[in-house]
Amino acid sequence: MKWLVLIHVLVAVIGIGPTFFGNILLRKHQTISDLRHNILLQHKLDYFPKIGGTLAVITGILLVLFGNYGSILQVWLFGSLVIYLSIQVIVIGFISPALSELQRWLLHPENRASTQLPAQQDATLHKISNLYWLVCILGFLIFILMIIKPS
């Protein structure tokens, strides 16, 4: 059981950890060349939450099934699961499409000479940045619930 806890914690940190870089890499008010570079980095980092986050849920379910953690309806367990699902909805449903749209514009050959984002792309960047802040807060809440374990 200790090995499963270890694996769960490691995949959670490795999986969720890169999500905290989203608000740094895709921050507002940066140069277009920095944003082009950072959006490609973020695209690579997005694999960690998809794989690690999924493994964290699977190992978490195994821990509940085979461990001595009590009912899944406890605040810390159920709350963590609901928050994690909320993060997935935000990332998959809102951040990823907006990120793809912004990336298409940034990497399009006609826009290579641009030194400033047009209003629509700037609004998209602000939306992405704000959503990453929300995801970070929700991620911290999961870690808090997992450590404190309120009933």
Distance CA 106, CA 94 (A): 18
* Cα–Cα dist 129/25, whole Å: 9
- What pLDDT was estimated at residue 51? 87
Whether 151 shows a pLDDT value over 80: the answer reads: no
pLDDT value of residue 97: 94
The tokens of 78 are what? 């159920």
Total domain count, the chain: 1
User: Residue 9 sits in which domain range?
Assistant: 2-148
In tens, the pLDDT along 14-60 reads 888 888 888 899 998 899 999 999 999 998 888 888 888 889 889 98
Q: What are phi and psi of 108, to 5 degrees?
A: -70, 130
Q: What confidence score (pLDDT) does residue 79 get?
A: 94
Element (H, E) at 112: none
Residue pLDDT, tens place only, 115-128: 889 999 999 999 99
* Helix 96-107 with 32-45: angle, nearest 10 deg: 140
Distance between CA atoms of residues 12 and 71, nearest Å: 21
Give the span between the Cα atoms of 118 and 59, in whole angstroms. 44
Q: What spatial distance separates the first Cα and last Cα of the chain, rounded to whole Å?
A: 22
Three-state DSSP class for 117? coil
- Give the predicted TM-score (pTM) of the model: 0.86
Tell me what pLDDT residue 29 has. Answer: 87
Q: Scanning the structure block, which residue is given the tokens 């009590």?
A: 70
The pLDDT tens digits of the residues spanning 67-118 come to 888 888 889 989 998 998 898 889 889 999 999 999 999 999 999 888 889 9
CA distance linking residue 50 with residue 65, whole number of Å: 23
* pLDDT given at position 108: 93
